[in-house]
Structure formats: structure tokens, C-alpha cells
């Protein structure tokens, strides 16, 4: 079964068609086709927002929430030892685990993230893809993979490599977005970045296939802008004894279709609101050069693109690139003291944070439009 989600224009990548393919046998969901590995790697190395400098080195609330949840599960199952984090971003979670007595290291595709990890937390991480990295000559007590597997072309290979670097009876902790409770999915839930759409059952099958025995499974519905499933599993000989269920492909399709109808209504609401809020403004600034802006411009028609004077983003790597033919630039290139300017904040997860930055640090007098609050 194929579900088409349309086309998005992505900075640094261009127009990208997003389709979901549902397996008729097990109900697993993947993107098909997907962005090429070369373009995806370019995106993560140069365009990710994980090193957002506007926070003055402080982690965002989503990272704090995930770390707190994961640390609690880890402490319920094992004592501090040596650990490795796959896709550790700027090292915040590693720094918190180190405070609890863990010896920490990890990797991230972004060399910029590795620099920040060293500067902020004095943690040395490896820059590069986990599959390509030559790992230290030691076996770890814990491998942490948080919000990474959904981005990988071959998640089983990542789990297999994690198995090899773990000590016998060592632990693996994995957390991914969970395909459940569509009423809790944020607007624009499906993006080109998430190649694998995991349900609890699909994730458990992958973990068991790699040789791990699940020990605890936690589904959190309100922890972020979508549900997440967190699994801690152990490297033990009898892992294959665990039987993970398949999903019903018909029910999975119904679940996705339910969300898509709701998502369409949400874009209609946003479209109606923007038509009202932007009335009379001849100069519009879109704040945010990410996937949400692509979805916003492709899913609404109330923003006259001729009136958009700029898309701004704090990530310097995006400056000069385009979304739907509109260039991305620094906020310093636009006059936010101009009351004739309307600023549309194009982010659901970080809307409040961006609004606070514009108001308190930039002292903007332009009209600010928040779409979700």
C-alpha cells in the first residue's frame, strides 16, 4: 500500500516527494522513494539546527525531557560504567550521564556538533556516520540511540554494530517517534528525514533481530510534539525467545489516514488565521528555514509569496539557500523595528522559544504571528 503525502521544497535539497509504503504482511511503514544518502548526509552535516546558538549553550526543553526520561529507565536497570551514544548531537545527554558516574563518548554526523560538545561539556565525540566510524578498542556497558534509527536507511545495521561493541549482558536503549495515537502527532508529522516510521511492534522486531532481549517498554504520549517509544534491551543469549507481534496493515493505513484528515484541517485553520492576521501587511518575514516552512508554503495559500521579503534562520549554513524560490538569510538582514512588517514564526516545537528571542533580545516592533499558541 502506498500513501502519497505530496511534494515539499527543502533547503539544500530541492523539491522532494514524500510517499509512505505500508508492508501488506507485517504493517511496517517506510518512505519510498527516499532522498539519496548523499543529499541526506549533506543535510545533516551542514543544515541541522542541533547547534542553535540562540540558546547560549542551554539545551532545549525537548532534549531535557528526553534525557530525564531515558536516565530514569537506565538507572532502573544498570549501574554506571562505559557508554557510547549514537547521534549524540552536542553532547548534552552525555554530560548528564557523566554526572551520574558514566564514562562517556559518542558520535554525530555534524563536525560542528563535535566542536560544541568539546567547548560546552569538554566531551570528545567522533564526527561522522556511526556505520563508517572506527570505534575505540573497548566494550561498552551501554549504547544509547535516541531519535536516530528513524533517520537511517538500514537501522538493523546500526543495531548490529551496537551489539558488537557491547559487553555480554550490556544494555541498549533506543527511543524513536511512535506510530500510535494520531491525535497526539504534531502538525506536519511526516517529513523527508524520517525514513522509517516505527510502531512499538516494528521497533521490537528490529531490536530482537539484532540479538537483544527487551526488558522495559515505555510509550510517552505527551513528551514532545509526537508520541515516543523508549525500549531498554539486554545483550543475552536467549533474545530470540522474545516474540514481537506484527501490525495489521489495514489498521495502520486507517491510523495514518485519520491523522492526514486531521492534519489537513489544521492547515486549513492556519490558512484562515494567516489570511486574517496578514491582511494589510505588504512585507512578510517567515522565521525558520526548516521543513515546517516548506510544509507551510506548500499547504497554505494565504501567504502571498510576492510579499515575503525574506525567510530568516539563525543557522548560518542555510543562508543563501532557497525554499520555494525564496532565499534564506540572517535576521540581521531584515528590519524588525518596522511596524509594517509581519513575522510568521514557522516552527511548532520551538515557537515559544523563537517568540521570546524576537521580543526580548531583538526588541522587535514588527507584528509577530505565532501559529500554534
Residue 101: CATH number of its domain: 3.40.50.150
Residues 236 and 293 in one domain: no
Look at residue 373 in the predicted model and tell me its pLDDT.
83
Give per-residue pLDDT as tens, 234-246.
Answer: 999 988 888 889 9
Which residue has better confidence, 317 or 92?
92
Residues 179 and 219 in one domain: yes
Stretch 336-340: mean pLDDT: 94
Percent of the chain at pLDDT exceeding 90:
68
Residues 246 and 283 in one domain: no
Q: Name the domain count of the chain.
A: 2
Domain boundary among 217, 252, 287: 252
Residues 311 and 366 in one domain: yes
Look at residue 57 in the predicted model and tell me its pLDDT.
66
- Residue 91's domain comprises 34-252
Residues 164 and 246 in one domain: yes
Residue 77 forms part of a structural domain: yes
Residue 145 forms part of a structural domain: yes
Q: Provide long-range contacts, Cβ within 8 A and 24+ apart, for 160-167.
A: 160/210, 160/211, 161/130, 161/131, 162/86, 162/210, 163/210, 163/211, 163/212, 163/235, 165/84, 165/135, 165/139, 165/140, 166/139, 166/140, 166/141, 166/142, 166/235, 167/139, 167/140, 167/141, 167/235
- Is pLDDT above 80 for 138? no
Give the confidence band of 55 by pLDDT, cuts at 50, 70, 90: low
Residue 21 forms part of a structural domain: no
Asked whether 195 and 150 are in contact (CB, 8 A), the reply is yes
Residue 96 forms part of a structural domain: yes
Residues 301 and 199 in one domain: no
Residue 316 forms part of a structural domain: yes
Domain boundary among 214, 237, 252: 252
Look at residue 275 in the predicted model and tell me its pLDDT.
96
Stretch 278-285: mean pLDDT: 95
Residue 155 forms part of a structural domain: yes
Asked whether 290 and 49 are in contact (CB, 8 A), the reply is yes
Give the confidence band of 46 by pLDDT, cuts at 50, 70, 90: low
Look at residue 5 in the predicted model and tell me its pLDDT.
83
- The enclosing domain of 330 has a CATH number of 3.40.50.720
Look at residue 50 in the predicted model and tell me its pLDDT.
57
Residues 313 and 244 in one domain: no
Q: Does the pTM of the predicted model rise above 0.85?
A: yes
Mean pLDDT of the chain: 91
Residues 39 and 181 in one domain: yes
Highest mean pLDDT among 20-29, 56-65, 133-142: 20-29
Stretch 53-74: mean pLDDT: 81
Residue 248 forms part of a structural domain: yes
Give the confidence band of 112 by pLDDT, cuts at 50, 70, 90: confident
Residue 54 forms part of a structural domain: yes
Of 181, 256, 191, 229, the closest CA to residue 29 belongs to 256
Among 66-75, 140-149, 299-308, 312-321, which is the least confidently predicted range? Answer: 312-321
Look at residue 51 in the predicted model and tell me its pLDDT.
55
Give the confidence band of 262 by pLDDT, cuts at 50, 70, 90: very high
Residues 178 and 100 in one domain: yes
Give the confidence band of 84 by pLDDT, cuts at 50, 70, 90: very high
Residues 121 and 213 in one domain: yes
Residues 213 and 352 in one domain: no
Element (H, E) at 228: strand 228-235
Residues 77 and 220 in one domain: yes
Q: Is the peptide bond preceding residue 33 cis, with omega within 30 degrees of 0? A: yes
Give per-residue pLDDT as tens, 176-229.
Answer: 999 999 999 988 889 888 999 999 999 999 999 999 999 999 999 987 779 999
Amino acid at each position: 500500500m502506498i500513501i502519497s503525502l505530496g511534494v515539499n521544497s527543502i533547503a539544500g535539497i530541492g523539491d522532494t516527494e514524500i510517499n509512505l509504503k505500508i508492508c501488506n504482511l507485517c504493517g511496517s511503514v517506510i518512505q519510498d522513494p527516499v532522498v539519496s544518502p548523499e543529499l541526506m548526509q549533506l543535510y545533516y552535516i551542514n543544515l541541522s539546527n542541533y547547534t542553535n546558538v540562540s540558546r547560549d549553550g542551554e539545551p532545549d526543553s525537548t532534549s531535557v525531557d528526553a534525557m530525564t526520561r531515558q536516565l530514569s529507565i537506565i538507572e532502573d536497570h544498570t549501574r554506571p560504567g562505559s557508554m557510547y551514544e549514537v547521534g549524540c548531537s552536542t553532547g548534552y545527554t552525555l554530560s548528564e550521564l557523566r554526572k551520574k558516574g558514566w564514562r562517556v563518548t559518542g558520535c554525530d554526523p555534524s563536525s560542528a556538533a563535535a566542536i560544541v560538545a568539546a567547548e560546552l561539556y569538554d566531551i570528545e565525540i567522533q564526527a561522522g556516520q556511526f556505520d563508517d566510524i572506527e570505534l575505540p578498542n573497548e566494550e561498552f556497558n551501554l549504547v544509547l540511540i535516541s531519535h536516530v534509527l528513524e533517520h537511517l536507511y538500514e537501522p538493523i545495521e546500526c543495531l548490529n554494530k551496537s551489539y558488537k561493541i557491547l559487553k555480554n549482558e550490556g544494555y541498549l536503549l533506543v527511543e524513536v517517534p511512535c506510530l500510535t495515537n494520531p491525535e497526539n502527532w504534531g502538525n506536519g508529522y511526516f517529513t523527508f528525514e524520517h525514513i522509517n516510521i516505527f510502531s512499538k511492534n516494528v521497533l521490537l522486531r528490529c531490536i530482537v533481530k539484532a540479538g537483544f532481549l527487551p526488558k522495559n517498554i515505555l510509550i510517552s504520549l505527551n513528551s514532545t510534539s509526537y508520541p515516543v517509544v523508549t525500549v531498554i534491551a539486554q545483550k543475552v543469549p536467549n533474545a530470540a525467545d522474545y516474540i514481537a507481534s506484527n501490525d495489521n496493515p489495514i489498521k495502520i493505513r486507517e491510523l495514518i489516514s485519520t491523522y492526514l484528515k486531521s492534519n489537513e484541517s489544521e492547515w486549513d485553520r492556519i490558512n484562515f488565521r494567516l489570511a486574517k492576521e496578514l491582511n494589510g501587511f505588504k512585507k512578510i518575514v517567515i522565521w525558520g528555514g526548516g521543513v515546517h516552512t516548506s510544509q507551510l508554503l506548500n499547504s497554505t495559500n494565504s501567504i502571498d509569496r510576492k510579499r515575503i521579503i525574506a525567510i530568516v534562520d539563525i543557522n548560518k549554513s542555510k543562508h543563501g539557500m532557497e525554499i520555494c524560490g525564496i532565499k534564506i538569510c540572517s535576521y540581521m538582514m531584515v528590519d524588525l523595528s518596522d511596524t509594517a512588517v509581519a513575522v510568521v514564526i514557522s516552527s511548532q516545537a520551538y515557537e515559544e522559544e523563537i517568540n521570546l528571542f524576537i521580543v526580548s533580545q531583538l526588541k522587535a516592533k514588527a507584528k509577530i504571528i505565532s501559529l500554534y499558541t
